[in-house]
Chain A
């Protein structure tokens, strides 16, 4: 994606996000909020997918771990403040990632995908079964947490700006990580794990670290998601959540850094539009197939190619 266009689009995007609440209706703001939350999850997944070359079909488990940490801490420990809930959820999600990751990253890539899916479903099953503790399939209702005493009104402008701030923070953090020495190392692992071994590095170590970082950020997304929707449900752990995140990344383009953000926004709005349809799963599955076959670079990939073509045509 040509640098000029990139910069231009980012500025426009930021302007829209910053001033949105002034002219968009409440529901649109709700969708933007949700979109930014999912963008964090998508960026986190792309650390694993785009940069490390691993496709996890189980990232829903981190949305779930983040969300349920909030729900359970509220219900059993009476903790209602973001300043405690967020760090704790991130830690727990990271811990879960280490646990699951230790096992999954040992395996070859195909197994990795299968096993992450399996673990996600296992957690879904466990969550549904222990209803006395987790509320089972009904889930747990969650009140909006406070921030240093400040009380948010759910889905309204103040929460929107809180999420915006966190979103910008996370995006910056993930950007730094991806462009750091560690970021280049995981790309090397993605491109040729054999060579990485011959350089003297332990491939699994880097995959595990990437998985943990990815899980931690996704856990944060889970905290915010559950705070926004007000309801922690076992479905968060399920494969549909996980595949949705993968779809967002592919939709926006996994080869560019901001692709996942675009994909998440588009997906959230699309889903809101299509969910009421009776056979939305059909369109979901179909769009996955169409996307993978015809637009492998995703939206940003396609726009990038188009932009480059337009620019070179203009200059010739």
Chain B
């Protein structure tokens, strides 16, 4: 995690963000900012509201209360499709892939979407050489074999492919929902070692929801700790690790 001068431009800002399910306040009044170019981690115990918060940002859950602005525009009422078009791209915890398409095709269709070419009836896909080249490049970066249909890939590569798809859209804000969940401890490092350099090189603003504090410390510049739907603490990883209140809720005494 090298030295990176943090650009102080705020790309996303929320105030009083809240979401409840029935009687449960999953997110209960969250004020936060995301700075352009940073890698921000959101941690917390299960049920603390991390994934819900991420989904509120992506548009997967509609906002009950509060406000959210992205690049200066109020996006609180916008749905997930519109947010995706604005560049807020979500990557799934349980990989959401195009199961019968090859990994190459998964990325190709993503690129076609990015280029606005999805309603073309001819020529055939094979004629789009630049798209093919870029898709092959991306898959190489992410270390995913290109010709197997997605449903045949092992779990680790499915996670990588999911991130690759999100990345291929050249997101302005990339949301990674537990990129290492379900991956063996040994492989977690490999997965992150593959993803993070790509993100850093492209200077993509990224928010990661994670459980593993080691990964969080290694890869992120800032950490937000959530507890019961509210922000408990935020700051650089070292500060968070030294914060006794945080230690309590994350149970790592």
* Docked CA distance A54–B81 (Å): 22
State whether B109 touches A200 (Cβ < 8 A): no
Instruction: Please report which residues of chain A, range 176-197, place their CB below 8 angstroms from some CB of chain B when the two chains form the complex.
Output: 176-177, 179-185, 187-188, 190-192, 194-195, 197
Contacts of A197 in B (CB 8 A): 80-81, 84
Asked if B105 is an interface residue, CB under 8 A from chain A, the answer is yes
Indicate whether A195 sits within 8 Å of B124 (C-beta atoms), given known contacts A182-B118, A200-B81: no
* Docked CA distance A50–B105 (Å): 17
Name B110's contact: one of A187, A199, A202 (CB within 8 Å).
A199
Contacts of A176 in B (CB 8 A): 121-124
Asked if A209 is an interface residue, CB under 8 A from chain B, the answer is yes
Contacts of B120 in A (CB 8 A): 180-182
**Size of B's binding interface in residues, CB under 8 A:** 37
State whether A201 touches B81 (Cβ < 8 A): yes
Contacts of B109 in A (CB 8 A): 181, 184-185, 187-188
Instruction: Please report which residues of chain B, range 90-118, place their CB below 8 angstroms from some CB of chain A when the two chains form the complex.
Output: 90, 92, 96-101, 105-106, 108-110, 112-113, 117-118
Name B98's contact: one of A179, A192, A198, A209 (CB within 8 Å).
A192
CB proximity of A97 to chain B, nearest CB, Å: 16
State whether B98 touches A180 (Cβ < 8 A): no
* Docked CA distance A184–B120 (Å): 10
* Docked CA distance A180–B105 (Å): 12
* Docked CA distance A185–B99 (Å): 13
Asked if B125 is an interface residue, CB under 8 A from chain A, the answer is yes
* Docked CA distance A191–B98 (Å): 5
State whether A181 touches B118 (Cβ < 8 A): yes
Q: Name B91's closest neighbour in chain A (CB-CB).
A: A198
**Size of A's binding interface in residues, CB under 8 A:** 24
CB proximity of B58 to chain A, nearest CB, Å: 7
CB proximity of B90 to chain A, nearest CB, Å: 5
Please report whether the interface of chain A is mostly helix, strand, loop or mixed according to DSSP. Answer: helix
- Among B119, B128, B169, which residue has the most Cβ atoms of chain A within 10 A? B119
Name A202's contact: one of B81, B105, B106, B108 (CB within 8 Å).
B81
Q: Name B123's closest neighbour in chain A (CB-CB).
A: A180
- Among A179, A180, A187, which residue has the most Cβ atoms of chain B within 10 A? A180
CB proximity of A171 to chain B, nearest CB, Å: 15
Asked if B165 is an interface residue, CB under 8 A from chain A, the answer is yes
State whether A188 touches B81 (Cβ < 8 A): no
Indicate whether A188 sits within 8 Å of B123 (C-beta atoms), given known contacts A181-B118, A194-B96, A198-B84: no
Contacts of B101 in A (CB 8 A): 184, 187-188, 191
Q: Given A191-B97, A199-B113, 13 other A-B contacts at CB below 8 A?
A: A176-B121, A180-B121, A180-B123, A184-B105, A184-B125, A187-B101, A188-B106, A195-B98, A197-B81, A198-B92, A201-B113, A202-B81, A206-B118
Question: Which residues of A are in contact with B by a Cβ distance under 8 Å?
Answer: 176-177, 179-185, 187-188, 190-192, 194-195, 197-202, 206, 209
